[in-house]
Chains A and B, each alone.
Chain A
Amino acid sequence: MSNGSAFPSLPILDQEPTGRRGFLKACGATLGLAAWATAMQPLVEWSQELSVDEFLQKHYRELKPAEKQAVFRRLEEDCKKDHGVDVTISDPQAIPGVQFAYALNLSVCIGCRKCAEACHIENNHDRATNNSYIRVFEMEMGGIDFEKGDATYDHPVPQPGKFYMPVQCQQCENPPCVSACPIEATWQEEDGIVVVDYNWCIGCRYCEAACPYHARRFNWEAPQIPAEEINPDQGYLSNRIRPQGVMEKCTFCLHRTREGKMPACLEACPTGARVFGNILDPNSEIRWVVENKRTFVLKEELGTKPRFYYFFDE
């Protein structure tokens, strides 16, 4: 790719460079190489930040326990170096007999976006873009028509004639994002949560095209967060600070929920619109809602089988 006069190097065309032509070709080749090196300089700068360990790291599910620990320690050190913050990277595993599900009461949601904000802080999202895994839609009463919805509203809520519909990853039982990924960088865990290995993803964004719920987010650049705002309790598969150029998504706050806590968005909701828990537990509130309320899921016709239910009070 380097230069236009590279042809003399074709083996069957070899000729002794003679006279003026040979000299010109030699000059051309040198110039071309120099131009090539200059053009690629940014790549060199970038690769200096990459470590060999990071480059060679195996897929999460192929790491042995000791290797995992080494990876987590390395990531903690990197965070200290890059952000000057001490963080702990944990890796809570799915609990046998637990299948998480979420339900949201649309009759009481007031569209305050406290959940989206809590997600932003909990999950170490980029500050400038105000990223969050939750988008809240202001919808028109009378139907559930996203075409009439608006996720960029900027006025006091709730407005008359409107209701509010937060949308996040539906943790589909049959997730199209997972089958799309060419390298198994995203998969479904035993408790139903779909995760991404941020150190394995190549950033092709096929999963983002495949998701019918606009639930995935790409790191178009490295996320920026002031040191004092970084949440230091981080999960490897969830809220640790993501690298540039990889995919991320809602994980039902698995670093919290697998430890028996509630997701950050639920805790932040001032109206109690959100219900979360283990759907396999017959005494759980989520089970009660799904059994007793007239719930519905988004885009049921696609066969994705969301684990995120919406309902209205009668």
Chain B
Amino acid sequence: MATDGNWLFYGWMTLLTAIALVGANAWAVQVRDGMIVTNMSDHVSWGLYIANFTFAVGLAAGGVMMVIPAYLYDDEEMHELVIIGEAVAVAAILMSTLSVVVDLGRPDRFWHLIPGIGKFNWPMSMLTWDILVLNGYLLINLHIVGYLLYMRYLGRKPNPKWYVPFVFLSIIWAISIHTVTAFLYCGLGGRPFWNTALLAPRFLASAFVSGPAFILLVLRVLRTTTDWEWSPRPARTLIQIIRVAMSVNLLMLFSELFTLFYTGSGHAASAKYLFFGSHGATGLVPWIWTAIALNLVGTWLFFLPHALERGSVRVAACLMCIIGIWIEKGMGLVVPGFIPSTLHEIVEYTPSSTEWKATAGIWAFSLLVLTVLIKLIAAVHSRQLHPRSLSETSA
């Protein structure tokens, strides 16, 4: 049963719960005492929270990467695993929503955002678009996961009419969530670092890496902790996707940097600060070079033949690319947009302990939800959980 499990499972859940509680407490203190407990300022007015939000949206979009080969190329085995990708997407949307909530100065006024009751500045504000597409995406994925799971639970074959159209919708929608999130930034004329047409494509390319990489890790955990078996083929397809997407991502990054640095215009000020520091301020330099190193080594590992086998090379490659992209999309993209400020002042930013705790709490809570979802899916899949199992236990 999903609730049963070995001590490892309980230990994992307890750990996540503990971290989530620490995060919840940090957030509660922040609401009471004000956002002064973060290290954000009027100069760097978004920090770790929005960084994590951006990454989470990418992860959610990447969740459907499994869906594309499964349906567009009709890969039968992928069909079995699609539900895992959708579950990752659900947890990632949850993570992105929570990351925004903790960033609000007045969470008590959250209802102002509800269309109809509050005052929804649509279609002018890009943020309202983002809220719409993220919620839509959540609903679509919940529907697909819920429907497939329920049918399996009943032991019936899912009716394609009830989910295939939604699967195609979710593919288009996945692209929209990350595109709109990129528009949040690149639509701001006053922030030259973000104001580039390449931002949305770069977001998508990196999502096509972080999403599949994360799913590969989930599959690994599933395979070692349950008796669910499948051939190495689906994972190999994912690795092919990662190889292409990461190469495109690095190419676009390179082309962006070339334009910035070769022309050497004022637009390069943030990039210069990010990569080399400026006026003695070097706060982000270690971050970005760590990200670049992780991304390069991770990509190299993915290109090794070993990556196609189930082994530690693959796990290492996944971890490196996930962390590399988390930094690149967060501390390497959101924060330097504010440094130097619009009036060219250099004020640096490092997350405060409150911000770290709240962010860790959000991760822990989202992983907790994901674990429950996956555990449920695995139980239904292995037919440990079916209508008769209930009457058996209660009998």
Contact = CB atoms under 8 A, between A and B. Distances in A.
B257 interface: no
B232 interface: no
Interface string A290-314: 0000000001001110000000000
B259 interface: no
A202 interface: yes
At the interface, is chain B mostly helix, strand, loop or mixed? helix
B17 A214 contact: no
Contacts of A204: 100, 103-105, 127
Contacts of A32: 17
Interface string A130-165: 000001010000000011010100000000000000
A92 B365 CA distance: 48
Interface in B1-58: 1-3, 10, 13-14, 16-17, 20-22, 24-25, 28-29, 31-36, 38, 40-43, 45-46
A200 B120 CA distance: 12
Contact of A182 (B125, B153, B342): B125
B393 interface: yes
B157 interface: no
Contacts of B16: 4
Contacts of A43: 28, 31-32
Interface string A32-44: 1001101111110
Given A13-B1, A39-B25, A218-B45, A179 B124 contact: yes
A137 B112 CA distance: 37
Interface in A95-134: none
Interface stretch (A79-87, A205-213, A228-236): A205-213
A205 B25 contact: no
A66 interface: no
A209 B188 contact: yes
A220 B113 contact: no
Interface stretch (A45-53, A252-260, A264-272, A275-283): A45-53
B127 A59 contact: no
Contact of B343 (A137, A185, A200, A221): A137
B190 A212 contact: yes
Given A179-B125, A182-B131, A206-B127, A246 B24 contact: no
A202 B105 contact: yes
Contacts of A3: 17
B106 A246 contact: yes
B353 to A, nearest CB: 15
B105 A181 contact: no
A200 B42 contact: no
B372 A7 contact: yes
A12 B21 contact: no
B104 A181 contact: no
Contact of B112 (A7, A180, A202, A205): A202
Given A205-B46, A244-B34, A244-B105, A183 B1 contact: no
Contact of B190 (A146, A149, A211, A221): A211
A208 B34 contact: no
A299 B109 CA distance: 34
A216 interface: yes
A46 B32 CA distance: 5
B106 A183 contact: no
B36 A220 contact: yes
A176 B126 CA distance: 11
Contact of B20 (A1, A38, A62, A222): A1
A219 interface: yes
A208 B337 CA distance: 12
B112 A183 contact: yes
A283 B39 CA distance: 49
B229 interface: no
Interface in A44-80: 45-47, 50, 55, 59, 62
A181 B121 contact: yes
A182 B121 contact: yes
Given A40-B24, A209-B46, A218-B35, A7 B106 contact: no
Most B-side CB within 10 Å, residue of A38, A149, A151, A220: A220
B34 A146 contact: no
Contacts of B43: 214
Contacts of A176: 188-190
11 contacts: A4-B13, A8-B3, A16-B394, A36-B21, A40-B25, A147-B344, A181-B125, A202-B106, A209-B188, A220-B35, A221-B36
Interface of B: 1-3, 10, 13-14, 16-17, 20-22, 24-25, 28-29, 31-36, 38, 40-43, 45-46, 100, 103-110, 112-113, 118-121, 124-128, 131, 153, 184, 188-191, 266, 269, 337-338, 340-345, 365, 368, 372, 376, 385, 390, 393-394
Given A14-B394, A39-B28, A247-B105, 6 more contacts: A4-B17, A181-B125, A184-B119, A202-B109, A213-B190, A220-B41
Interface of A: 1-5, 7-8, 10, 12-16, 32, 35-36, 38-43, 45-47, 50, 55, 59, 62, 135, 137, 146-147, 149, 151, 167, 176, 179-185, 200-206, 208-214, 216-222, 243-247, 299, 302-304
